Structure 1
Amino acid sequence: MVTRVGRLKPLSSLGLEVVNFFQNASVKDIIPSDRAQDPTDEDLLCINDLVLFSVSVSTGEYWALKMLDSWGKFPSGVLTGNSYDLGNFDECLNTELTGAIRGKYCFLKVVPDYLLGTETGMEINIATCLPSSCRASHINNFFRKILAFNNTYSISGIDIIDSSCQTVEKEPWDKLTIALIVILAVMASIVAIFTLIDCFLRKAPNELPIVVTTFSAKANSRALFRVVESKLNPNVIDCLHGIRCMSLFWVIYSHEYLNVPNSANLNLMQLLPWAETPYASFVLHGFYSVDSFFVLGGMLVSLITLRFLDRSKGRLNVTLMYVHRIIRIWPLMAMAILIYMKLMPVVSGGPLFSGGYSGLSQCESDWYGSLLFVQNYFVNKCVGHTWYLAVDMQLFVISPIFLIALYKWGKKAAAGIVILVILLSACLFATIMLNNYSMLMKKISSNALQKMYYDTHTHAAPWLIGFLFGYFLYLNRDKKFQLNWMMVGLGWILSFSMIFTSIFALYPEAKWDTPPISTLAEAFYHTLTRIGWPLALCWVIFACIQGYGGLANSFLSSPLWQPLSRLSFSIYIWHKFVLEVNARNVRTNVYFSNYQIILKFWSDLGITILISFVLHLLIEAPLGGIGNFLKPRTKTPLSNKIPQKAIQESQEVQQIQECEVNTRSNLSSEESQVSTAVD
């Protein structure tokens, strides 16, 4: 009887086993049985190249030794989660016998459960390198022959599929890829032309037409990096920039961990004990950063719109408001789908990069859901992290109902919104209880994730709390609250208590051997923290506005946050592109640890900021600026006839627009969208 150790022997030196096999191989050992009697020209070419490869190895020819040298082996550390031996990808692809043979890199997929005598739930991927004339069917046939231990037994779960194979010759670009590259080239050319005009022909600030400044990289860069002094107006809320950036960094950092399985990790199983640590709770509960953005989004919609409604005496063009919003978001969303789908294989490559973007099939089938902003209800989400944009857009669509109600009925409408928040929280609680849902790693299911996290009504409560907070700031915009140190201290204690409770309350339940928390307890946790987290964030903003922020306000209100804050939407859109490219571009196995993730986070963040800046200048700023042409044109009165109060109000609006611009989904200022809608 063959021992398990004996079964591993052929896998440990696959390249040599292949060479030895061809010393006595026959045609039927290579050609699948259904074609053995009548081999095709392709079959015969593969046989000829394999025999030539085997003979060339025996005679020591350099090209054949390179091909053999690039093979992988059965990887060490399988029981710690290592499922890859990547071999030498570039050595294989660059192997060539002039005019005859080129290397073809493929993964031999092996299910190791029977070999190891234990259930691992893994699939081992071993790099192979064979002549490019051979298809997966040829390779599979003779691998099964090689790995047969006797006449009656062969290993199951061994396979090579063509989609895992790569050669140095890339597939030609399809029409959509060509169209995308042409669009980017045209946009780059337009931006370059208008930038040159801006640089060499403009002498005065308002000398050139608005179309030039809309597409000028110089003008858009100046707007991006301009620092607005908060001392000019007490209504400026500087701390929003810091909150927005810190929340965005939290999102990206958490996604670094979610992206770990996309790479070839030596110790993937280390994720299991890692999930039991307190540090993991900070990462696994990163979804509260999304609630932070909903709070900011709701707050800005109500605060800015109500101020404009005051100035316009209640006139609001809702249709134009929607059109402006779509112009700001939709083009970038469409470009993101195309770039994720088509440019990944163009900009990068590697042993794990066959097939391009990991969500390619979802985008090919469900791309329209993203453009209609309903992808949060799709099982297969194209550019998955943009589900947030769908939720925020849906809440934005219904926002005029709440805005008009607040403007007309004031505190009565606010009381109605409070009741709605309570009802939505009760709905979430009932959903968890009736379906026995859980978000814990040891119990989570796709249905729970959808119904507790992706559905719009589950995040409506944080958005509405932010909306009500914006109304509170609107009512008290000129008021200074005099709080004693005990009240301020109590506010900060309660705020920090809720923040740390939200992140770490479930830490004791993270242990894999701990009995699961009851559904009732988890329902209370998710329901109350969806209210408590927004309230804690509102206190932080309130304290910073009123001068009770201390060190927190100094940090969050630093002018250094302003450029990143304006770029935050672009960073959010493109960060997953960078994370996936860098994770799958590896040539050797990587090691999972918190320190390695920190190093990767900073490098990915730096590359993302650079790419986001370039694409902001090429796509987001020019296309988003088109919405400015929809603004009503009014005659500008002579400056000496403008009342001083009107000048102050105009300056206030301009400064508010500078400060409160660009929440990640309310990407380019609710102010611009609302000012466009005001008639």
Structure 2
Amino acid sequence: MSARCQSDDVGSFPRTDVCLEHVGCIRQTPPGILQGNIRWIGRYDLCRDIKASLTQRDFNGRYCLTMSTAVNKSRTLLPEIGVCVPNSCSADVVNQLILSGVLGTDVLDIPKYNPNTICITDPEYSAGAIAALCICSILGLLIVGGTGISVFKYLRKTIFSTDEDDKDGILNQSATQSGDSNRTESENMKDTVKGLGVIENTLSCFCAITNGRKILAIQKSGPYSHLAALNGIRVLSMFWLILFHTHQFIPEFTDNPHEVTSVYQRFSGQVIANLTATLSVDSFFVLSGMLVTYLTLNKLEKRAGQLNWAVFYFHRFWRLTPVYMIIIMLWATMRPYFTNGPLYWTMNIDYPIDNCRKYWWTNLLYINNLYPYYLHEGCMTWGWYLANDMQFYIISSLIIYFLYRYSKIGYAIIGALMTACFTSLVVVYMKYDLRKNPEQLDKVITLTYIRPWSRINSYLVGMIVGYVLYEMPRKRWKISKLGALLGWCCAIATGLGTVYGLYRTPQGIPKPNLKQYFTKLCLEHYGPRLWDGLRSACAIGKGALAVVCKGALTFN
């Protein structure tokens, strides 16, 4: 222990207000231990507000959180203890105090555990953070400038002038009055106005009003207005995904995590248990494949089978990448400054920065679902979805071409890909004996969740639906009321089976046989694809199918 830390130790001072404040900040055994409450965080804000003024020197309170790990690597749950020490004390000193029991931690059998302490300090702004703030400030100024120009043009048009071409009128009038001798000056003014017009149009691209109107616009009529029902599928799927992620993190920040996790054992809790809610991501893959196929086939028909495929790819890359890179920049540089708190710093704040410095280029190239090998090693881990979607988009052009020219070959390619991908999943599950338990969760996510060959089947189902929607008006296919009813009954039954089919399935079956593997994969892999594909047919919006569609969407 350093000399200053020892002299600042409140235990060596008489009973003062500072000492009482420190005692109030140190952890107290909380209620709910039997319900899994192992985080004894103490009084974080009170500790940080302590400012001691003594005869020899001044010091402030410093909050530290100690997380213990078992020496023998047992799965014993150990409490996380919050302590308040003078800011002259380091994390190593707190570890020594924890081991000696000075801080009231003798409740633990200390010799069996290794304390690991994090002492919280306010981070200084790094060069990367300052650069990110400068870039965001420039974008903010562009938005303000573009919005201001749009507002000024609107006011000039509606209030100050009734002539939409007022500038040209003034210039023409001045040129006429000045005569031929001033014609050069008038032309120079026109050139200046044109130059300002380019800047004006550029800034107008950043107008918050114009862009906001486009983002929030609802297409009530038009050639693709019948696809509006897909927005409902997106919203419901997003709600499901948010619900799952909320419950995924709740146990880490509650006083009764055992009570929270018991919800997963209920029948109603199956919507978030067994990772079934992650299947909601398949809805977005299905919709993406359907829209790309349907819209591209219509473009090919209008252009007599001709399409600039370079523009096809560039448009997609340019539409996603600039915003994607800005988000990665903010995530990699600004995360330490987002918020603060006793548990915020236990969430590995530094690893996104280190990972993004190493692997940001994999996100730029949309290969971050393949490299690095494990998901947690990459930059902004949830970007695996965009990587998959971009890879599927790249290969979709080949399938769409054959669907347009030779539909049977296109169907054959889709069938071959689906069979190969499903077979690979069966092999992976059997080879690695993957069961969803804490020890193998990382491997399950890596091998069966983020890889493109494990997710492309949803996209392929969407492409089939898109092709069917494209062909229906041309081949005059009609769906009877009975056929629509049977189709939706099948879709609803499949959807319910996917979510609730594994209810009360024991976790950690010793050695599942081939039948169990096949049943599990069918429920989790093809069930949601069939459900998404059939419910997407509501985009047709005709007759009884539209009525059944609305009811099914509401039910989902």
Q: Deviations over 1:437-485 (max 9, x none)?
A: 33x4478543233222111011111111111211111122456654333
1: CA distance between counterparts of 2:40 and 2:548?
50
Q: Could you say if the C-alpha distance between residues 95 and 113 of structure 1 is closer, same or farther in structure 2, counting changes exceeding 3 Å?
A: same
Could you say which residue in structure 1 is the equivalent of 2:270? 281
The answer as to whether partners of 1:83 and 1:264 remain within 8 angstroms in 2 is no
Could you say which residue in structure 2 is the equivalent of 1:129? 84
Q: Deviations over 1:630-660 (max 9, x none)?
A: xxxxxxxxxxxxxxxxxxxxxxxxxxxxxxx
Matched, 1:312 2:303: yes
Summarize the alignment of residues 45-60 of structure 1 with structure 2, pairs less than 5 Å apart: 45-50=4-9, 53-56=10-13, 58-60=14-16
Could you say which residue in structure 2 is the equivalent of 1:542? 537
Identity percentage of aligned residues: 23
Q: Deviations over 1:75-124 (max 9, x none)?
A: 4433422121121111111100246110110013345899xxx9652231
Matched, 1:188 2:140: yes
Aligned length: 499
Q: Deviations over 1:557-582 (max 9, x none)?
A: 9xxxxxxxxxxxxxxxxxxxxxxxxx
Deviates more, 1:135-144 or 1:456-465: 135-144
The answer as to whether partners of 2:403 and 2:411 remain within 8 angstroms in 1 is yes
Q: Could you say if the C-alpha distance between residues 423 and 109 of structure 1 is closer, same or farther in structure 2, counting changes exceeding 3 Å?
A: closer
Summarize the alignment of residues 399-478 of structure 1 with structure 2, pairs less than 5 Å apart: 399-438=396-435, 440-441=436-437, 444-477=440-473
Q: Could you say if the C-alpha distance between residues 204 and 228 of structure 1 is closer, same or farther in structure 2, counting changes exceeding 3 Å?
A: farther
2: CA distance between counterparts of 1:420 and 1:352?
45
Could you say which residue in structure 1 is the equivalent of 2:186? none
1:247 is aligned, of 237, 245, 265, to 237
Could you say which residue in structure 2 is the equivalent of 1:101? 59
1:177 is aligned, of 111, 126, 129, to 129
Q: CA deviation at 1:362?
A: 3.5
1: CA distance between counterparts of 2:125 and 2:265?
46
2:383 is aligned, of 368, 372, 386, to 386
Q: Deviations over 1:496-519 (max 9, x none)?
A: 01101111111130x459877545
Summarize the alignment of residues 66-77 of structure 1 with structure 2, pairs less than 5 Å apart: 66-77=21-32
2: CA distance between counterparts of 1:362 and 1:352?
21
The residue matched to 2:449 in structure 1 has which SS? helix
Could you tell me which runs of 5 or more consecutive residues in structure 1 were left unpaired when the two chains were aligned.
1-30, 32-42, 558-679
The residue matched to 1:507 in structure 2 has which SS? coil
Q: Could you say if the C-alpha distance between residues 238 and 419 of structure 1 is closer, same or farther in structure 2, counting changes exceeding 3 Å?
A: same
Q: CA deviation at 1:526?
A: 1.5
2: CA distance between counterparts of 1:157 and 1:361?
28
Q: TM-score, normalised by structure 1?
A: 0.67
1: CA distance between counterparts of 2:235 and 2:445?
26
1: CA distance between counterparts of 2:87 and 2:539?
64
The residue matched to 1:108 in structure 2 has which SS? strand
The answer as to whether partners of 2:492 and 2:552 remain within 8 angstroms in 1 is no
Q: Could you say if the C-alpha distance between residues 75 and 111 of structure 1 is closer, same or farther in structure 2, counting changes exceeding 3 Å?
A: farther
Q: CA deviation at 1:234?
A: 6.8
2: CA distance between counterparts of 1:158 and 1:234?
62
Could you say which residue in structure 2 is the equivalent of 1:395? 392
Q: CA deviation at 1:332?
A: 2.1
Q: Could you say if the C-alpha distance between residues 450 and 314 of structure 1 is closer, same or farther in structure 2, counting changes exceeding 3 Å?
A: same
1: CA distance between counterparts of 2:63 and 2:298?
62
The answer as to whether partners of 1:144 and 1:154 remain within 8 angstroms in 2 is yes
Q: CA deviation at 1:256?
A: 0.9
Matched, 1:87 2:77: no
1: CA distance between counterparts of 2:210 and 2:230?
24
Q: Which has the higher contact order (CA 8 A, sep 6+)?
A: 1
1:531 is aligned, of 526, 533, 544, to 526
Summarize the alignment of residues 322-401 of structure 1 with structure 2, pairs less than 5 Å apart: 322-354=313-345, 356=349, 359-377=352-370, 378=372, 379=374, 380-401=377-398
The residue matched to 2:66 in structure 1 has which SS? strand
Q: Deviations over 1:250-301 (max 9, x none)?
A: 111111122235x432122335533322233211301221111111111111
2: CA distance between counterparts of 1:181 and 1:555?
46
Could you say which residue in structure 2 is the equivalent of 1:508? 504
2: CA distance between counterparts of 1:441 and 1:298?
32
The answer as to whether partners of 2:535 and 2:552 remain within 8 angstroms in 1 is no
1: CA distance between counterparts of 2:468 and 2:552?
24
2: CA distance between counterparts of 1:449 and 1:160?
28
2: CA distance between counterparts of 1:525 and 1:382?
31
1:166 is aligned, of 120, 136, 149, to 120
Could you tell me which runs of 5 or more consecutive residues in structure 2 were left unpaired when the two chains were aligned.
159-163, 166-196
2: CA distance between counterparts of 1:113 and 1:75?
25
The answer as to whether partners of 1:198 and 1:212 remain within 8 angstroms in 2 is no
Q: Deviations over 1:350-374 (max 9, x none)?
A: 1112253664443344333222212
2: CA distance between counterparts of 1:253 and 1:441?
21
The residue matched to 2:81 in structure 1 has which SS? strand
Could you say which residue in structure 1 is the equivalent of 2:494? 498
The answer as to whether partners of 2:149 and 2:204 remain within 8 angstroms in 1 is no
The residue matched to 2:366 in structure 1 has which SS? coil
Q: Could you say if the C-alpha distance between residues 266 and 112 of structure 1 is closer, same or farther in structure 2, counting changes exceeding 3 Å?
A: farther
Q: CA deviation at 1:65?
A: 1.9
Q: TM-score, normalised by structure 2?
A: 0.81
